């Protein structure tokens, strides 16, 4: 599920809780982690930070550090994996994913209970739920007690015809699902810098500073110099950062 209000639906929820932070090794992720770490220290939130590189390390880090944890923050990792299927967590554990990697796994997008996406919804072009998920009712009503053989045969024929029609419909849906997911997953792109998103959270909480702003600038720059963001998006982010520079350093 995409989080609309980072403060209300994320930060306020984890207050007074122990948090596990799984962070990738890229510069943007480290800057985002430092910003979040600063906020946690300010509010005396207990946390454990574990760096991860790849799916295997992600699994191992979760297994070894999740005991007693109800909230897991994933920075620049986890978005393109079905984290519930991969990690098999207890039902009470919530995942907050701040990851610039695209596309985001559809299971993460439509899991409204355990997965919270800290991203801009305008940057996600996700397939419709009904195009990728289907809840079939396979229950069948048996008319075995019908004593009239002729009537029973007619009912059975109608049932068989309906079953065939459902199978045809199911096959068409599955073929369309394959196409929809292929179109969605075929290209890897990047969204807004995670460091910038974490800085904007600090700003909305009136806990931003020049030090945190510098981390956001480094995160955005890291994306640009490694060709993870187009020039137009980079300029847009730079202009947003410039407004914060002016605000924090007005004379």
Q: Which of 32, 14, 15 is nearest to 23 (CA)?
A: 32
pLDDT per residue rounded down to tens, the chain (251 residues):
999 999 999 999 999 899 999 999 999 999 999 999 999 999 999 999 999 999 999 999 999 999 999 999 999 999 999 999 999 999 999 999 999 999 999 999 999 999 999 999 888 889 999 999 987 644 444 444 454 566 666 666 666 778 888 888 889 989 999 999 999 989 899 999 999 999 999 999 999 999 999 999 999 999 999 999 999 999 999 999 999 999 999 85
Q: Decide: pTM greater than 0.95.
A: no
Q: State both tokens at 206.
A: 């009136």
The Cβ-side half-sphere exposure at 247, using a 13 Å CA radius, reads 11
pLDDT at 166: 85
Q: Residue 150: what pLDDT?
A: 63
- For 6-120+191-247, CATH gives 3.90.1640.30
Q: HEC profile for 212-239?
A: HHHHHHHHHHHHHHCCCCCHHHHHHHHH
Residues shown for the chain? 251
Q: Are 31 and 3 in contact (CB under 8 A)?
A: no
pLDDT score of 156: 66
Q: Are 21 and 28 in contact (CB under 8 A)?
A: no
- Cα 114 from Cα 129, distance rounded (Å): 17
For residue 185, what are the contacts with CB-CB under 8 A and spacing of at least 6?
Answer: 103
125 backbone φψ class: left, alpha, beta (φ>0; ψ -120 to 50): beta
What's the pLDDT at 134? 85
Element (H, E) at 184: helix 149-185
Q: Quickly count: other Cβ atoms within 10 Å of residue 136's Cβ.
A: 8
Residue 135: the pLDDT is 78
pLDDT for 161 equals: 77
**Domain residue ranges of the chain, discontinuous segments joined by +:** 6-120+191-247
Between CA 107 and CA 83 the distance in angstroms is 8
Task: Count each helix (H run) and each strand (E run) in the chain, helices first.
Answer: 11, 7
Residues 6+ apart with CB under 8 A from 72: 19, 20, 21, 22, 62, 66, 89, 93, 94, 95, 96
């Amino acid at each position: 599920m995409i989080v609309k209000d980072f403060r209300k639906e994320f930060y306020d929820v984890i207050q007074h809780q122990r948090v596990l932070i799984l962070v990738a090794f890229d510069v943007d992720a480290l800057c985002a982690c430092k910003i979040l770490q600063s906020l946690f220290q300010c509010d005396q939130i207990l946390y454990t930070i574990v760096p991860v590189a790849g799916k295997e390390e992600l699994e191992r880090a979760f297994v070894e550090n999740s005991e007693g944890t109800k909230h897991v923050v994933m920075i620049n990792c986890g978005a393109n994996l079905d984290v519930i299927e991969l990690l098999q967590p207890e039902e009470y554990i919530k995942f907050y994913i701040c990851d610039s990697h695209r596309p985001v796994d559809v299971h993460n997008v439509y899991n409204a209970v355990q997965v919270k996406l800290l991203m801009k919804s305008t940057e996600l072009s996700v397939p419709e739920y009904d195009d990728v998920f289907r809840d079939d009712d396979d229950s069948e009503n048996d008319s075995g007690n019908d004593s009239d053989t002729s009537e029973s045969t007619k009912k059975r024929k109608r049932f068989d015809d309906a079953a065939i029609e459902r199978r045809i419909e199911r096959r068409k849906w599955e073929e369309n699902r394959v196409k929809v997911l292929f179109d969605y997953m075929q290209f890897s792109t990047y969204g807004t810098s995670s460091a910038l998103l974490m800085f904007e959270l600090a700003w909305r909480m009136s806990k931003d500073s020049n030090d945190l702003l510098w981390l956001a600038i480094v995160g955005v720059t890291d994306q640009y110099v490694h060709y993870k963001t187009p020039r137009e998006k980079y300029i847009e982010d730079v202009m947003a950062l410039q407004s914060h520079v002016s605000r924090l350093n007005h004379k």
